[in-house]
Homo-oligomer: A and B are copies of this chain.
Amino acid sequence: MDAPRWLDERENRAWRGYRRMRRLLDLELARDLMQDAGLSEPDYDVLSDLSETPDQRLRLSELADRMLWSRSRLSHHLARMQQRGLVTREEHPSDGRGSIVVLTPAGRAAIGAAAPGHVAAVRRHLIDLLTPEEIDALGALTQRVVDRLSGRPTAAEG
């Protein structure tokens, strides 16, 4: 094994800052969301993704892929959300294995009530603290990392 190339001072600042920001943002956003709307972040994400689809319904596997969740995790979580009346499941019309996740009126109401406050919190704690250049840099940089990790190389690789 080669001698490790440790992070230099600037790299370290970026890496530690990223991790600390992650943690603090999570705590804050989750707290706000729970207090204001009674939703956890995972709840919000499920409802948000569902509400963005044309018919407020998605096949379980499709939803899991979009969210980067395992099917098992999503299945468990949907059971809990179903218990609370936020979503229901329907049979797939042509594929007997398939399960279609559907937003209920209560689910639609919940995400509708939660979204403004959540977006405001995201602005307050992150977006509105950044310059336009930083927002663009963050967008570009995250997209590059995401593309690599998704196995979609931007250019030829070594």
Contacts and interface: CB of A to CB of B under 8 A. Distances in A.
Contact of A134 (B7, B22, B27, B141): B141
Interface size grouping (class) on chain A: 35 or more
Contact of A146 (B6, B20, B130, B148): B20
Integer count of this chain's copies in the complex:
2
Given A21-B142, A134-B137, 13 more contacts: A4-B120, A5-B120, A6-B119, A10-B132, A11-B135, A14-B136, A14-B142, A15-B126, A125-B145, A130-B141, A137-B137, A137-B141, A138-B141
Interface of A: 1, 4-7, 10-11, 13-15, 17-18, 20-25, 27-28, 68, 115-116, 119-120, 122-123, 125-127, 129-130, 132-146, 148-150
